[in-house]
């Protein structure tokens, strides 16, 4: 009997490919192992064995495989079923899922480039002959292609050699190597507490009267702290007193001065012996019990707790209980880069039981985590990771936590699979009969809708830990301030007053400005009104080249208005302002303070985020100006004031989720204020202080916001009531992509009638010489998602069979964000 295998290849092919194997190979192989297979004329790919059978393919002659790469399955049956779900739900191929799911070192292919692992200490004794030859060749050449290695070894089957060299840590495959970030500590000094009283201090000055230089240092210390009311850095003291480091050292040795480091969160968790998790307070304990009770009926529970209510500590308790049962835990975070603080904190609790999985880690580390999870190693009992960690080969997953579940970065935009990690995680957990806990201070409407539908359980925490008060939120009316000439640039008198107060107190400030540049909206400088689409409940965007206002959802357009439609003013603004401009103005207003900026431009470099976050934590920056990056669950102890420079930019953003997002962003960024001893202050500058969302933010009324927004979503047929599938067509020929889109939309309309919007060019229609055009399908709740997708796939197939359209790329995004 002939033997065949179906293989998943990491390319966007609709079907899996069938290869021939020998009887011996058939005995050895199981589903989930890797094989090296030839493809096309000369390519070699790594594939995953998907099925083993005896059926000859009908349309082509099955080729032989090159070789088997694993002794044991690398991918589990559970994973393959998860991949199937993902490719079905998000309308992409298994190969695309495979490429996203596996660390790149697992997918050797003809294009793979191999280089020496310079960081490793290699014991040549552990290498066999083939391995040694490759290793040696890498002494002379910095990198080798697969065909080079074939030449060196004189054979075609080289993947297993490469695989073994990777496992022995001798080589790397085409990839950057990421270093870990170790923050540089800033050294501070203060007078020892013994000298706090007047008497002891006078005595000290007397004893130092002969040691002039030492006395000068102590005097300088006084004058600096009086001036800045902040901890004094050694470097500052050296500057001010003109002393040398040895004098400071003498004072420290004499127990007059004391050195210390500020590492806020980090110190707390790195103290030895302090690693036991915290005792929950009564509210937290009650919430924990409620979660468990709710898990009896629900697979998914939403933990809705205000910022700083102690959600993380509750997660920790649940995780510990799950691990004690011998089960694995997945803790999902939106973006690891922004959550180094949390990683450290959890590391202190879970230590050797925790692994971090992130695409910024080296491939070797990712491979290690993969095997640890696959083999159920204790090290990987708790996996902390960004969205791609839903692809790990869990064995007995017991709990999934999705922290900050409302974050949009859980959705992958590009490439396919365009999955939402929160939703995928729920499916994953379900397949293990495990529970999922979603956590947020500002749940997404999608998840909260599921709560209201009784699909998810709900547990709430209304108070901050330790009864720290929620920040005091004040709305500042920009219209009034401009009229009464109370503005300095972009700053109202209230903002400046509060900034001075905070700074005099030695506290830090966060200034928030949303700028998602490219699609300017028009805003009246008198009343703040912004022209809206008549069909879509979104702001229109200004297109300068056509002098039009357009809706980028439905295509509605109108000529650019000359007067404000609300108040008639001719003072219309279509520029908006960004973080850079604010930074400049702050520097002019507060020349003595250190100002930092955190946005896409300043965080691009290596460790960009970490550097700025650390500098702010260590109080090297007094005022931090930033975009939404600032909202991501950061815990800065010394921040008293949060200023939102212009809420209208957020509210008027042309997206049906703009109001929900505004609420989430403003609540989250407000949550950074006053997390410990003092009550935080938040100032929101706006032209519309009576806007419902601003009222809801300032009174922390999530429930009201939810109810209002749901009415809009229902009326305008948007998620979570309706589902969205967005199709984007791409081609470098404007006419062709336009024609293709018309054809596609017409076919869709025959099926879905008025629920098809577009085709519509986005605000930036041409990117890298490719024209993009969008079609949006809105699905009413009663319509079957599966059938709809089948219908769309069918239309797509017919589309591809039309000669003129074949070259057009069609990108399908299910549950578009
Ligand atoms: P959230 O995740 O809800 O924003 P956190 O879990 O970060 O809140 O808690 C806020 C702060 O309160 C943190 O600094 C945390 O260490 C502290 N905290 C929370 N619960 C406890 C507890 N039970 N005992 C001591 N400190 C706690
Ligand atoms: Zn107006
Ligand atoms: Zn519209």
The tokens of 17 are what?
Answer: 């490919």
Q: Of the bound ligands, which one is closest to the alpha carbon of residue 269? A: 1
Helix axes 658-670, 702-715, angle to 10 degrees: 160
In the beta sheet, which residues pair with residue 508?
639
Are the C-beta atoms of residues 650 and 624 closer than 8 Å to each other?
A: no
The three-class DSSP label of residue 642 is strand
For residue 466, which atom of ligand 1 is closest to its CA?
Answer: 12
Mutate to test the pocket of ligand 1, among 266, 281, 308 (most ligand atoms within 8 A of CB): 308
Torsion angle, CA of 522/527/528/533, rounded to 10 degrees?
-60
Burial class (CB in 10 A: 0-12, 13-18, 19+), 546: exposed
Distance CA 18, CA 38 (A): 11
Contact indicator for 429, 655 with CB cutoff of 8 Å: no
Cβ atoms < 10 Å from Cβ of 693: 23
Rounded to the nearest 5°, which phi and psi values hold at 323? -65, -35
Q: Cβ neighbours of residue 785 under 8 Å, at least 6 residues apart? A: 723, 779
Query: What is the β-pairing status of strands 557-559 and 548-550?
Result: antiparallel
**CA distances to 120, 438, 756 from 287, in Å:** 48, 13, 44
How are beta strands 623-626 and 457-461 bridged, if at all? unpaired
Q: State how far the alpha carbon of 550 is from the alpha carbons of 520, 535, 568, 576, 765, in Å.
A: 11, 11, 20, 17, 13
Q: Which atom of ligand 1 is nearest to the CA of 281?
A: 23
Give the strands of the sheet with 397-403, arranged side by side. 354-357, 382-385, 328-332, 397-403, 435-440, 300-305, 457-461
Distance 90 CA to ligand 3 centre (A): 25
Sheet holding 257-261, edge to edge: 232-233, 187-191, 257-261
653: phi then psi, degrees, rounded to nearest 5? -60, 130
Is the CB–ligand 1 distance for residue 407 below 6 Å?
no
Q: How far does the centroid of ligand 3 lie from the alpha carbon of residue 758, in Å?
A: 10
Length of the chain: 817
Q: Which residues of the chain are modeled with pLDDT < 50?
A: 176-180, 264-274, 516-519
**Protein residue with least CA distance to atom 21, ligand 1:** 310
Residue nearest (by alpha carbon) to ligand 1 atom 4: 308
Does ligand 1 have an atom closer than 6 angstroms to the CB of 309? yes
Please tell me the distance between residue 574's alpha carbon and the centre of ligand 3 in angstroms: 19
Q: Is the dihedral of CA 579, 581, 587, 589 positive or negative?
A: negative
Compute the distance from residue 563 Cα to the ligand 2 centre, in Å. 8
**Token digits for 634?**
């950061």
Atom number of ligand 1 nearest to Cα 309: 3
Using CB atoms within 10 Å of the CB of residue 598, give its burial: 0 to 12 exposed, 13 to 18 middle, 19+ buried.
buried
280 lines ligand 1 (CB under 6 A): yes
Distance 242 CA to ligand 3 centre (A): 66
DSSP string, 318-360: HHHHHHHTT-EEEEE-S-GGGGHHHHHHHHHHHGGGEEEE-TT
Q: If you take atom 26 of ligand 1, which residue's CA is the nearest one? A: 278
> Distance (Å, rounded) from C-alpha 346 to C-alpha 352?
11
In whole angstroms, give the CA distance from residue 770 to residue 729: 10
What's the gap in Å between 532 CA and the centre of ligand 3?
8
Write down the pLDDT at residue 6.
97
Q: Ligand 1 center to residue 310 CA distance, Å?
A: 4
Ligand 1 touching residue 589 (CB < 6 A): no
DSSP three-state, residue 629: helix
CA-based angle 30:36:38, to the nearest 5? 125
Kindly give the distance from the C-alpha atom of residue 534 to the centroid of ligand 3, in angstroms, as a whole number: 6
The CB density around residue 220, as the number of other CB atoms within 10 Å, is 19
307 lines ligand 1 (CB under 6 A): yes
Q: Is the CB of 281 under 6 A from ligand 1?
A: yes
DSSP-derived secondary structure letter, 566: T
Residue 256 CA to residue 237 CA, distance in Å, equals 15
Catalogue the long-range contacts made by 704-710 (C-beta closer than 8 Å, 24 or more residues apart): 705/659, 705/660, 705/663, 706/445, 706/448, 709/445, 709/659, 709/660, 710/445, 710/449
For residue 741, which of 671, 676, 796 has the smallest C-alpha distance? 796
The answer for residues whose C-beta is within 8 angstroms of residue 160's C-beta and 6 or more apart is: 36, 67, 69
The bound ligand whose nearest atom lies closest to the alpha carbon of 550 is 3
Distance 662 CA to ligand 3 centre (A): 20
The whole-number pLDDT of residue 517 equals 35
* Residue 523 CA to ligand 2 centre (angstroms): 8
Q: For residue 462, give both structure tokens.
A: 């209304």
For residues 475 and 492, what is the distance between their CA atoms, to the nearest angstrom? 11
Residue in 495, 556, 514 with CA at minimum distance from that of residue 531: 556
Ligand 1 within 6 A of CB of 278: yes
DSSP letter string, 740-762: HHHHHHHHHHHHHGGGEEEEE--
**Would you say the CB of residue 310 lies under 6 angstroms from ligand 1?**
yes
Determine phi and psi for 50, rounding to 5 degrees: -105, -40
* pTM, entire model: 0.82
Distance from Cα 404 to the centre of ligand 1, integer Å? 15
The residue nearest atom 6 of ligand 1, judged by CA position, is: 310
DSSP character for 470? P
CA atoms in the 13 A half-sphere facing the CB of 492: 24
Contacts of 249 (CB under 8 A, 6+ apart): none
The closest residue, in CA terms, to atom 24 on ligand 1 is 278
Q: Is 312 in the pocket of ligand 1 (CB under 6 A)?
A: yes
Ligand 1 and 467: CB distance under 6 A: no
SS (H, E, C) 376-429: CCHHHCEEEECHHHHHCCCCCEEEEEEECCCCHHHECCCCCCCCEHHHHHHHHH
Query: Ligand 1, residues 312, 440, 633: which to mutate, most atoms within 8 A of Cβ?
Result: 312
**How far does the centroid of ligand 3 lie from the alpha carbon of residue 104, in Å?**
41
pLDDT tens digits along 399-430: 999 999 999 889 998 899 999 999 999 999 99
Probe residue for ligand 1, chosen from 465, 631, 632, 674 as the CB with the greatest number of ligand atoms within 8 Å = 465
Q: Are 775 and 744 in contact (CB under 8 A)?
A: yes
Closest ligand (CA of 529): 2
Ligand nearest to the CA of 283: 1
Half-sphere exposure of 463 (CA within 13 A, CB side): 10
- Under a CB-based contact definition with an 8 Å cutoff, are residues 396 and 423 in contact? no
Strands 397-403 and 435-440: parallel
CA of 167: how far to CAs of 116, 184, 426, in Å? 13, 33, 32
Is the CB–ligand 1 distance for residue 404 below 6 Å? no
Q: Which ligand lies nearest to the CA atom of residue 570 in the structure?
A: 2
């Amino acid at each position: 009997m002939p033997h065949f295998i179906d293989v998943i290849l990491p390319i966007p092919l609709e079907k899996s490919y069938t290869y021939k194997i020998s009887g011996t190979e058939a005995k050895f192989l199981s589903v989930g192992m890797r094989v090296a297979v030839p493809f096309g004329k000369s390519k070699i790919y790594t594939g995953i064995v998907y099925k083993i059978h005896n059926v000859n393919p009908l349309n082509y002659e099955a080729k032989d495989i090159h070789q088997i790469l694993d002794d044991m399955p690398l991918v589990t049956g559970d994973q393959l079923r998860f991949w199937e779900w993902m490719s079905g739900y998000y309308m992409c191929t298994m190969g695309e899922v495979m490429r996203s799911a596996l660390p790149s070192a697992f997918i050797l292919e003809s294009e793979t480039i191999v280089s020496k692992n310079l960081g490793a200490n290699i014991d040549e004794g552990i290498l066999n002959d083939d391995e040694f030859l490759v290793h040696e060749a890498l002494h002379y050449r910095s990198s080798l292609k697969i065909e080079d290695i074939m030449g060196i070894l004189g054979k075609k089957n080289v993947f297993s050699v490469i695989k073994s060299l990777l496992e022995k840590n001798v080589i790397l495959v085409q990839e950057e190597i990421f270093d870990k970030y170790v923050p540089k500590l800033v050294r501070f000094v203060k007078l020892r507490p013994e000298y706090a009283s007047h008497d002891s201090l006078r005595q000290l000055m007397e004893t130092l009267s002969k040691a002039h230089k030492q006395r000068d240092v102590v005097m300088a210390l006084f004058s600096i702290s009086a001036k800045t009311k902040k901890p004094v850095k050694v470097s500052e003291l050296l500057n001010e007193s003109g002393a040398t480091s040895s004098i400071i050292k003498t004072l420290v040795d004499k127990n007059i001065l004391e050195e210390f480091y500020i590492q806020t969160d980090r110190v707390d968790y790195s103290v030895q012996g302090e690693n036991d998790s915290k005792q929950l307070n009564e509210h937290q304990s009650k919430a924990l019990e409620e979660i468990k009770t709710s898990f009896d009926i629900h697979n998914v529970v939403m933990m809705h707790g205000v910022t700083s209510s102690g959600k993380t500590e509750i997660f920790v308790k649940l995780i510990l209980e799950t691990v004690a049962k011998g089960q694995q835990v997945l803790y999902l975070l939106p973006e690891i880069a922004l959550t180094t603080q949390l990683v450290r904190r959890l590391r202190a609790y879970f230590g050797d039981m925790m692994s971090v999985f992130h695409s910024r880690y080296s491939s070797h580390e990712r491979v290690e985590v993969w095997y640890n999870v696959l083999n159920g190693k204790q090290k990987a009992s708790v996996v902390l990771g960004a969205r791609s960690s839903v692809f790990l080969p869990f064995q007995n997953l017991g709990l999934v936590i999705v922290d900050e579940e409302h974050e949009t970065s859980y959705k992958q935009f590009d490439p396919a699979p365009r999955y939402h990690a929160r939703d995928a995680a729920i499916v994953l957990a379900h397949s293990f009969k495990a529970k999922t806990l979603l956590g947020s201070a500002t749940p997404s409407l999608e998840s909260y809708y599921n709560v209201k539908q009784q699909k998810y359980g709900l547990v709430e925490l209304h108070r901050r830990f330790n009864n720290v008060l929620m920040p005091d939120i004040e709305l500042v009316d920009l219209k009034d301030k401009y009229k009464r000439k109370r503005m300095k640039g972009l700053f109202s008198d209230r903002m400046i007053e509060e900034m001075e107060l905070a700074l005099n107190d030695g506290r830090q400030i966060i200034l928030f400005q949303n700028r998602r540049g490219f699609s300017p909206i028009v805003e009246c400088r008198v009343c703040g009104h912004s022209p809206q689409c008549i069909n879509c409940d979104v702001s229109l965007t200004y297109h300068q080249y056509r002098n039009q206002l357009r809706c980028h959802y439905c295509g509605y357009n109108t000529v650019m208005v000359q007067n404000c439609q609300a108040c008639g003013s001719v003072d219309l603004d279509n520029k908006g302002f960004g973080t850079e401009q604010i930074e400049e103005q702050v520097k002019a207003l507060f020349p003595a303070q250190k100002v930092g900026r955190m946005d896409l431009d300043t965080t691009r470099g290596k460790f960009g985020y970490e550097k700025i976050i650390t500098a702010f934590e260590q109080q090297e920056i007094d005022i931090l100006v930033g975009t939404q990056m600032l909202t991501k669950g950061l815990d800065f102890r010394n921040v008293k004031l949060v200023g939102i420079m212009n809420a209208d930019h957020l509210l008027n953003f042309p997206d049906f989720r703009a109001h929900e997002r505004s609420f989430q962003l403003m609540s989250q960024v407000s949550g950074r204020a006053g997390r410990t001893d003092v009550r935080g202050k938040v100032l929101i500058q706006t032209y519309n202080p009576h806007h419902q969302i601003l009222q809801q933010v300032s009174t922390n009324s999530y429930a009201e916001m939810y109810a209002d927004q749901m009415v809009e979503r229902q009326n305008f047929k948007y998620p979570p009531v309706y589902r969205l599938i967005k199709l984007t067509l791409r081609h470098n020929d404007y006419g062709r992509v336009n024609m293709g889109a018309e054809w596609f939309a017409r076919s869709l309309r025959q099926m879905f009638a008025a629920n098809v919007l577009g085709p519509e060019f986005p605000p930036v229609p041409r990117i890298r010489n490719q024209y993009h055009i969008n079609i949006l399908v809105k699905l009413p709740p009663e319509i079957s998602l599966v059938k709809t997708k089948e219908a769309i796939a069918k239309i797509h197939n017919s589309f591809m069979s039309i000669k003129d359209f074949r070259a057009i790329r069609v990108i399908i995004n299910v549950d578009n964000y």
